[in-house]
Each structure stands twice: as C-alpha cells, then as structure tokens.
Structure 1
Amino acid sequence: MLDALQQSLPFRWVRRCFQALPRRPFTLLFAVGLGLSLITAACSPNSTSSSTTAPAAPTQSVEVRIGYQKAATILNVLRTREDLAKTLADSGATVSWAEFPAGQPMLEALNAGSIDFGYTGEAPPIFAQAAGAPLLYVAYDPWSPKAEAIVVPEDSPIQSVADLKGKKVAVAKGSNTNYLLVAALEKAGLKFSDIEPAYLPPADARSAFEGRKVDAWAIWDPFLAVAESTAGARVIVDATGLAPNRGYYLASKSFVEQHPEQLKAVLDSVKQVSDWAAKNPTEVAEFLAPELKIDPAPLEKAEKRREYGVLPITDDVINDQQKIADTFQKIGLIPQKINVREVIWTEK
C-alpha cells in the first residue's frame, strides 16, 4: 500500500513541491496540507471527478391566489377577516387577493393563470368555458331568484315584459341578468332581437337609467336594491320561475389537481363565513356599506332576500347551467355548444 501510494501522481506532485519550495515553515505547512488533501481524495473509494452533491432546493410555499368582487359578499368578508390566511398557514401556504369589477375579467385572469379561485354568477363561467379556460365548478351558492330583476322608472308606462318590445334595455353583457332578460322575453313571446340591448356595467347602467337614456334595466343585488331605494325603480319581473340565479365557486384545473388540501381549506373557510353571513344580514350590510359607498339600508334589504350556502354541484344544477349555456349559444353570444358537465369537480 505504501509503495503504491509513493508511486501515485498526488504523492509525486507533493514530493516535487517539497523540492521546489523554499524551506519556509508557512509555505511548507501549506504544501503539506494541500498534498494531504489531494492524497485523501485520491485514496477515497467514493471519489469521482463530479462527486460534489448539489444542495437540496428549498421547499416552496404554496400561494393561493383568490379573485374577488367587492359586491360579492363572502369572499370580500373572508379577505378582511384574515381567517383563511391563518388556516392556510398551518399547511405552509399563503393567500393573496386580487379585486375585479365583474366576473368576466376575473375568469379571464383565471384563464391567464393569474388567479386560482373565484366566485361569479351563472353566466361568466359559461363564456369562460366557451373560450377554453381551464376552470372547474367546485361548489355553488343558491343566492336567490328574488335578487335579480328587470326594472323601469316608477312613472314609466311599461307595465310588463311584453311592453319592452322596441325599447332600450340596459344589461351587463354575459351576466346572469343577460340570461334573465332572454328568458323573460321568451316567456312573453318576444325574441331578444325585439329589444335594443344597451350593454353597460352596473355603474354606467345606473347613470343611464337615472338619466332616462334607457327604458329598462336588468340588474342584480345589491345594485337592484339601491335602484329600488334611491332611483325610483319599479320591478316588472324578477327571476322567479325564469332563472335560478345561482353563484358559483370556481377554480383552475391545475390548482384543484395540484393542491387539493388547500382547495378544501378554502371551501371550508368560505362555508364558515357563509354560515355567519346568513345569520347576520345587518352586520354584512354595515361591512359592505363603506366598501361599496352605498347606504346600509338597501344593502340590508338585499341581504335579507338572498340565500347563502357552499353546496356540491348536483345534476339539477348542471342541467340548469347547461340550459343557460344552450340559450347563449342559440342567440349567438357564445360561438359553439359547450358541455357544462365536463368542467364539474368531483371531490375524491
């Protein structure tokens, strides 16, 4: 062993270093230390030229990105209470929030991969699915057919939906009330083409309504309650018997598949807040008032006529949502037929 070591390349290199270096103690000790390191490496049975092991990558925290609308009570309340942040922290996850003016831009963000979870009315997920967005329905909120309606000014000669023929009606394109308007017209024996739709978001529609630039307005709560309370709006028909007016909790497919524990934590937290809101309409109204810059009284009215829940998607819910999708396809609002059942999450 000693003879083999003396003939090895590291040993011969060290010996030449001794012969070439001046006999200074510090230099000598350096050469000895370096040489012994090389010899040890050469004699090690596991030594290779690429033996360095890369350090393990640090575990990355999961960030749950949630989109919300100020008027969408539950997620907005959940954001301010910070309960979800505490729940997710137990599993090593964090939460971030992004505000959107309506459901459609929120689902565009989901399609772009900017958010993981959100809540909208019936229509936006239909348009998002038609556009190829990778979304899944994960639960629904019963809301209420009384929480959306078609209204006219108090002194308007319009008394029924049939009187809307040839009239200009404000509606948010692709919204739940867009479907209500179509369904109400069909029941009255009219086609969508029999009216002049004015596609406006709620704030612009209210201005047009109050300024008498439109004859009617299809709108949902809490904007409906505000219109009744402060703008002299009169309901000619609500969604009872015409549209279920449900809300939907939606998530990206990748989030559902990769982070099922975090999805469950989100839904559990949403349910807790939903249960609280159902029993505390006054407190909810007081919370929303500064957020929406609306008096608490109409907000409380809206809260008292709606329902809350975080419920699993049933066949009846799917069939109703498919009916809405088929209607939008028939009148040309979406380009092709879609199958809603294909994007329903089934908890495993």
Structure 2
Amino acid sequence: MHGLQASPSPARVAAKLPYRVPMSMPSPSEPSYEARLEAVLESVSDAFYALDSDWRFVVFNRAAEEYFGVAREAILGRDLWEVFPQGLGTPFEASCRAAMRDGTPASFETSSRLRPDRVVELRIVPMRGGGVALTLTDITERKTADARQRLLANELNHRVKNSLATVQAIAAQSLRSPDVSPEARERFMARLIALARANDVLVAETWTGASLASVAAEMANPHGDDERFTIAGPEIHLAPQTATAMALGLHELATNAAKYGALSTPDGRVSLTWTLEGAAEARRLKLIWRETGGPPVGSPGQAGFGSRLIERGLASELQANVRLVYAPGGVVFSLTAPLSESVTEG
C-alpha cells in the first residue's frame, strides 16, 4: 500500500520476542523457520501484533485482522497512535509506554474502545532489543457466562434463604407449645441460623464449596472478637455438603462453649487449628478444637443431639475418626480425616 514502510521479516521479529525461539536451521525438506513462525502466529485464536521501538506495526496476525476488521497491508509500518488515537491518555497507553521504556510487562481486562460491546484481556510484554508485543483475547463470552453464573447463584441463595425463613417461621409457631422448653426452641433456631451462615459461605464461592478457614471464621463471628479464638491451618477446600456438615459441627461446639465452656467466662479461649499429615494416599487432615480458661467441665450424663451431630455427623460426612473429650481443663475435640474429593488441599 502506498506510503507504508516495509515490515521486518518474522525471523527478525522473533529475535526480539521476550521468550527464546530455537534458531537451528531446518533441513531442505523442512519448512523454513520464517514459514513455521508465520504458521504459528496465523494459527492462534488470539489477536497478536508487535510494534518496533518507533511504535510501528511490524507483525499483525490473522486473528488481529478479524478482530479489528482491517487487513494487515493497511496496518504494517504505520504508527500505533496514528492508527489508534483513542488509546492516547488511557491506561493502555501508560502500560505500552512502561513496557517500551522500562521493560515492564502488563496484563489487564478492559472494555474495547474500538468495539465498546466487547471486553478484552490485554497482555503487553517488551521485546528484546526494543519494541513491544501485544496479545488481545476477547473474553466477552466468558464474562457474560460468569455474570450469569453469579446471577443464578444469587437467585439460588435467595430461594434457600426464603426456604430457611419459612422453616424458621413454621418452627417458631410449632414450638410455642408449653411442652417445648425455651432452651430447645432457642437451640433449634440457632441451628437454622448456623445453616443459613453456612449457605452464605457457599454462595461467596458460587456453590463450589468453601475453605475450612472461611467456615471456621463464620462460625466464630457471633461469639466475640479475634481475641477469643485462635484459628489457624493450611488452605483446605471443602465440598458443599462437607462444608455444611463442618459448619453445623463447629456451631454445636461453639454453642456449648458459650453456654457451659470456655466462652462462658471472660478469660476463656478457644483454639481451632488443623494440620496436614502424611503423604500421597496417606495424607490426612487433623483438626483440633481446644478450650482453655473456662469453668471445670464434666461429661454430660447422656449425649444430646448436639453431641451426636458433632461426633456422628462429621465422622460420617468426612469418613473421619473423631473424639470428643470433656477434660477438666476444657473440651477437646479432635478429627482425623483422609483427603478426598470432599476434602482437598489448597
């Protein structure tokens, strides 16, 4: 095209790219290196273009032609800011100049200024010897799918909360009988609230599960500030059903501690810690709840629903060995469970 400067060969551009490309000579029967490089650039679905140190286009692949709606013959050799003046004074310009001047790479998501209905991810990296290479990925469909998933998760959360509120209202009416003690009514309502809190944690992770730390923090929240609890351990991810069982089990422990144990006195403390032990198939989660500083504790004469929920519910859901000890110095609960699809590391 008239007035456009000739562009460097793909091999000369490759020598500047921020990654190493093998430069061995092909045999006569093999495609030339330039042909192979051009084939790679033409095959990728992301728009790719490169600029020399004078901001001139030196590479513009097929995907870039399709995205921007312009042939490379009309672009190669031209100045970026002449072709794309909309980019001046934007974060895009600042990132390009930082990459060109300081060798600082950048990656960010932004609305396309040429196509405002599209969202793109831009990656800008410096090339050895000067210039920058840019990759543009259209992520509009992915962002739309993410938004739809969040909408569905929020709708699910809304419906679950409505269901729990309905159950709570029915229970409140049904449990007003004089045959039902106020304590039993209070415990039942508290368990419904604990179930709702577990639901909130799952919604925050779009129902993919929840971290053990977030479940523990949500459980501790109604019972005072961080000074009352020590919560620590490596990153553990729980499947949704397992997270719910863990939340209900920890709620029972915290409720008992608030009424009869360490959290019933100003100086009482709870330590909830977990570790990972073993390797490969023998890798296991070991969790310990330990109360200190509370009143002397004795074993209850008969195991109630809360104790059964702690011991049997968690043991069944996590395939765990559990132990609940009413030691004089404070309740100690321990759980050892194998890692599985429901309990994963990281």
For Structure 1 versus Structure 2, the TM-score category normalised by the shorter chain is under 0.3
What's the TM-score once normalised by structure 1's chain length?
0.18
What's the TM-score once normalised by structure 2's chain length?
0.19
- Larger strand share, 1 or 2: 2
- Larger helix share, 1 or 2: 1
